[in-house]
Chain A
Amino acid sequence: MTYAIETRGVCRRLGKRFEIRDLNLGIPGGSIYGFLGPNGAGKTTTIRLILAQLRAQEGEITVLGESIPASIHRVLLRVGFVPERPHLYPGLTVDETLDYHSAFYPTWDGGRAENLVRGFGLDRSLRVARLSKGETGQLMVVLALAQTPELLVLDEATEGLDPVVRREILEALVDYVSQQDATVFISSHLVHELERVCDWIGFMDDGLMVADMPIKDFKEGIKRLRVVGAPATLEDPPFVLLSREAGDGVTEAELWVVRGWEAPMKSYVEGVGATLREVIDLDLEEGFVELLRTARAPKQ
Chain B
Amino acid sequence: MSAYALFKKDLASEIRTRYAVNSLIMFIVVTISVILFSIGNEKISDFLSGGLFWVVIFFSAMSGLSRAFVSEEERGTTLTLQLIASPTTIFSGKLFFNLILVFAMNIIIALLYSALFNSFVLKNFHLFLYAFILGNIGIAIASTLIASIIAKASSKGTLYPVLSFPILLPLMLTLIDLTKQAMDGTTFQSSYVELAILGCYDVVMIAASFMLFDFIWKD
The judgment on whether A and B are partners is no
A contact residues vs B (CB 8 Å cutoff): none
B contact residues vs A (CB 8 Å cutoff): none
